Amino acid sequence: MTLLHAVLLLGIISLSFAADPAIRWCTVSIHEQQKCNDLKSKMATDYPEFSCIRKESHESCVNAIKSDQADATTLDGGDIYKGGLLPSRLKPIAAENITGESCYYAVAVVKKSSSITINNLKGKKSCHTGLGKSAGWIIPIGTIVQRTRDEWNREDPIEKFVEKFFSSSCVPGAGSQFPGLCKLCKGSGANKCQRSHHEPYYDYSGAFQCLKDDAGEVAFVKHTTVPAAERQNYKLLCLDGTTQPINNYKACHWAKVPAHAVVVRSRNVDDAKNDAIWRFLSLAQKRFGPHTQGQFKLFSSGTYQRKDLMFKDATEELIHLPKETDYLLYLGTNYANALKYIRKETGTSSNTLRWCTIGDPERRKCDTWTAVNCVGGTNAEDCIKQIMSGVADAVSLDGGQVYVGGKCGLVPVMAEYYNKGDRSPCRTRSNIIPSYYAVAVVKNPQATWESLRGKKSCHTGVGRTAGWNVPMGFLIKNNKIRACDVYNSTYFSDSCAPGADKTLHPHLCSLCIGTGKTLHSENKCDANSNERYFSYSGAFRCLAEAGDVAFVKHITIIENTFPLGQLDWNRNLQSSDYRLLCKDGTTAPIVNYETCNLAMVPAHAVMTRPNMKQQVLELLKNEQLKHGREGSEKTTFNMFDSATFSGKDLLFKDSTQCLIDVTATDYKGFLGQSYIATLEGLHSCKTPELLEACSFVTC
C-alpha cells in the first residue's frame, strides 16, 4: 500500500508540473531582472518553474523567444511588428490596459516656456524613446514625413531624412552611421545611443529626461510619461499648430496606438505553454495588481528607482487577447501601414495579383491561371488572414466567410452571379445583389424534420451559409437545438461538417473521409478541397454515399447528377432520387426550390483589402472577358469550370455565369441585415476564433 501511495503521489506531482510548464520571462536590464526575480519569489509556490532570463535589449529578447531560449516578454508596438515578421512569428497574448483602454496616446512634449509648435519643428533638437518604437519614432516620424512629403527621397534611409530635419537628436539604436541621431545621447563609450537601458535617455523616461536636462527641445513620448508633479512645467504640441496642457492629451495627440503587449511564440505546439503564461499573469495581477495590499506591485517600479519595469507603471490590468490575434490584427491596419511606409516595405516585388487558394485541387487550377500568382491557404480563415497581412490579395468567399472577412477589414469587390436564365446583369451594370437558395436535400421522400432526428447530416462546412449558418439557424429558431449547443447537439447522430474541431466535436467529423485514400486520412474534416465531402458538391456526395440530409444550394443537385455529373462518383446519379425538405416539414421536387427552401442568401463574393479594391476589380473584369463564360480565350483557361481539374467549384462556383460589381461599400450592405442577424444569433454563445480576434477593439 505504501508503494502504491508513493506511485500515486509521484503521478500527482508529475501531472502538476505537466499542467504548468516552465515559463522563462525575458528582461532587458539589471533592475528589470531584479523585479522579475522578486515576482518569481512571490509566485514560487504556484509556479516553481518560472524563471527570469536577462538580455541586453528588446531585440535580443525577441530573438531569444524565437529561438526557444525564452518564452515571453512585453514589447512596444514597433517591436511587436518586428517580432511578428518571419521567421518564427511572435504574437501578442495580453495587452496592457492603460486608463481604461488597450491603447495609449503618442504625444510631443516641450517645456511650457518654449515657442515651438509642430509648424516650426524643423531644426530643433529632439528626444526619442528609441529607433522603431511607436511613440518615439514611428508616429512622430511618420507624421512629419506626411507633412513634408516632398523632402524625403525614398532612395535614402529614413534616418538620413530625420538627421537633416532635426539639428541634433537622441534616437537610441540609430547607429554610428547617423551621428546626428546620437549626438544628444548621454551614454558613455560603447553604451552611447544603445537601444537599451545602458543609454540613460532610452525609453519613455529616458526621452523625457533628455528634454528635462535641456539636451533636447522636444520629446516624443506617451501621454502618461510626464510625472503628475511636473506636468505644469510642460505642454503638448498639437497637430493643428497649437499647444495644450499635458492633461489634454485626448484632444492633443499625434496618434492613438496599441498598448504594449506580452508576446509569445505563435506555433501550435506552444499553445499549452501560452495558456500557462496567461494563467501565470492572471494570477500575478490578481495578487499584486494596483489595488492589492503589500509592497510588491506588478505594475509599479518605484521600489527599484526606475520606471516601467516589465510592464508600464500606468498599467491598470492586463487584458487577455483572443487566440487568433496576431501582430497585424493587434496593431491595426493604419499603424501597420504607417510602419511599412517608413520602413520602405512595399510588399511583393511583382505587380501580379496574388490569389489565395484553398486545398490542392484549387491550387492546381490556379496554377494554370496566368494572370495571377497563387498562394496556398489551409482554409478560408487562413486566406482572410493572409490577405489582411498582405501575403495574398484576393479570394472568393461564401457569405458566412464574407462576414468574417468584413469584420477583419476586407471589402467585397465582385459577386458571383448564377441566374442562367437572365444574363443581362453580365452585360450591363446592375445594382442587384446576386443570391441563391439554401436548401435541405433528402433521399427519403417521407422525411420530415422530426424524422431526421438521430440521422446523418452533410454540411458544406462550418460557418458557411447554405451548409451551416442557415440550417443551424433554422433548427435553433424552431427549437430543434439550442444556440449554445450548436456544436454539441445530438439532433444528428453523425455528420460531416468540414472545419469542425475533430478533437472537441468528433461527431461533426465522423462522416468525413478526407482524401479517401486511407481509413484515417490526415485531411479528414479539413475545410478545403482535400476533404472529399467539402463544399456543395462534397456535401451532396456525402448524402449520396453516407448521409440522410445535405444542406447545399438549389442547383447543387442538378450539377452533380446525370447528365451534368461528369465524375466517377456522380455520373450515374439521378436527380429524381432526391427531394427538397421544406420549412414546413413536407418534401418537394428539386425544381421547386423557389417555394421550398430554407432562405434566399447572398452569393459568394471576391474579397480584398480596401487599398486593393480597384486593382482586383480591373483584373477580374479583364479576365472574365477572356476566360469567363463567354470569354474569347476560355478554351485555354475557364474561370468557371473545374472539370479539367477533377473537382467542383474551384476558385469560383462552376455555376457562376459572370462576376458583377458589388455596389455596396462594405460587407454589411452586401450581406443584408437579415442574414447578419442570423449569423449574430449563431455566434451568441460561441464566436469563431478569427471573428473574435477581428472584433476585439484595440485602437
424 is catalytic: no
pLDDT band with cut points at 50, 70 and 90 for residue 350: low
**Which residues on neighbouring strands pair with residue 639, listed in sequence order?**
none
Q: Does 129 carry a binding-site annotation? A: yes
Which range (90-94, 566-570, 574-578) has the least confidence?
566-570
The answer to whether the annotation marks 133 as part of a ligand binding site is yes
The top-level CATH class assigned to 354-418+603-695 is: alpha beta
Strand, helix or coil at 166?
coil
The pLDDT of residue 11 is above 60? no
Start-end of H helices in 436-552: 470-477, 535-545
DSSP code at position 259: P
To the question of whether residue 463 is assigned a binding role by annotation, the answer is no
Say which of 134, 168, 196, 266 is annotated catalytic: 266
Give the whole-angstrom CA distance, residue 45 versus residue 54: 22
Kindly report the backbone phi and psi dihedral angles of residue 444, in degrees, each rounded to the nearest multiple of 5, phi listed first. Answer: -85, 115
Burial class (CB in 10 A: 0-12, 13-18, 19+), 473: buried
Q: Residue range 250-260: average pLDDT?
A: 95
pLDDT of 483-522, one tens digit each?
899 999 999 999 999 999 999 999 999 999 999 876 667 7
What are the angstrom distances between the C-alpha of 200 and each of 79, 121, 190, 209, 639?
20, 24, 13, 8, 61
| 3-state SS, residue 660 | strand
437 is in an annotated binding site: no
Does residue 4 register a pLDDT over 50?
A: no
- Residue 37: count other Cβ atoms within 10 Å of its Cβ: 16
Tell whether 466 is in a known binding site: yes
What are the φ/ψ torsions at residue 413 (nearest 5 degrees)? Answer: -110, -55
If pLDDT is split at 50, 70 and 90, which confidence band does 20 have?
A: confident
Say if residue 665 carries a ligand binding annotation: no
Task: Provide the whole-model pTM.
Answer: 0.84
Pair 623, 651: CB distance under 8 Å: no
Write a three-state SS string for 3-31: HHHHHHHHHHHHHHHHHCCCEEEEECCHH
Asked if residue 106 belongs to a known ligand binding site, the reply is no
Q: Report DSSP state, residue 71.
A: -
Is a pLDDT exceeding 90 seen at residue 345?
A: no
What percent of the chain lies above the pLDDT cut of 90?
86
- Going from the C-alpha of 613 to that of each of 13, 322, 626, the distances in angstroms are 57, 28, 20
Residue 435 pairs in a beta bridge with 602
Is the pLDDT score of 5 beyond 60? no
Q: Residue 465 corresponds to which cell in the numbers above?
A: 451559409
Fold of 103-258: D-Maltodextrin-Binding Protein; domain 2 (3.40.190)
What does the block give as the cell for 384? 482572410
100 φψ region: left (φ > 0), alpha (ψ -120 to 50), beta (else):
left
For residue 12, what pLDDT band results from cuts at 50, 70 and 90? very low
89 is known as an active-site residue: yes
DSSP code for 376 = E
Question: Domain 435-602 belongs to what architecture?
Answer: 3-Layer(aba) Sandwich (3.40)
pLDDT in tens, 33-56: 999 999 999 999 999 999 999 999
Domain 23-101+261-341 indexed as CATH 3.40.718.10: no
Burial of 210 (0-12, 13-18, 19+ CB in 10 A): buried
Q: Mean per-residue pLDDT for 554-580?
A: 96
Mean pLDDT computed over every residue of the chain: 93
- Please check if 520 is assigned to a binding site: no
The predicted structure's pLDDT at residue 332 = 87
pLDDT of residue 150: 77
Asked if the domains at 103-258 and 435-602 fall in one CATH topology, the answer is yes
Where does the pLDDT of residue 13 fall: very low under 50, low under 70, confident under 90, or very high at 90 and above?
A: very low
pLDDT digits (tens, 9 = 90+) for 404-460: 999 999 999 999 999 999 999 999 988 899 999 999 999 999 999 999 999 999 999
Domain-wise residue ranges, the chain: 23-101+261-341, 103-258, 354-418+603-695, 435-602
Instruction: Please state which of the ranges 272-281, 467-476, 585-594, 681-690 shows the lowest mean pLDDT.
Output: 681-690
Model confidence at 599: pLDDT above 90: yes
Asked if pLDDT for residue 9 goes beyond 60, the answer is no
- d(CA 253, CA 319) in angstroms, rounded, equals 24
Q: For the chain, what's the residue count?
A: 699
Q: Rounded mean pLDDT of 310-317? A: 96
Please give the Cα distance from 580 to 19 (Å, whole number).
50
Catalytic residue, candidates 89, 231, 279, 343: 89
- Closest among 410, 407, 413 to 324, alpha carbons compared: 407
Q: Cα–Cα distance between 552 and 540 in angstroms, integer?
A: 7
Q: Consult the annotation and say whether 249 binds a ligand.
A: no
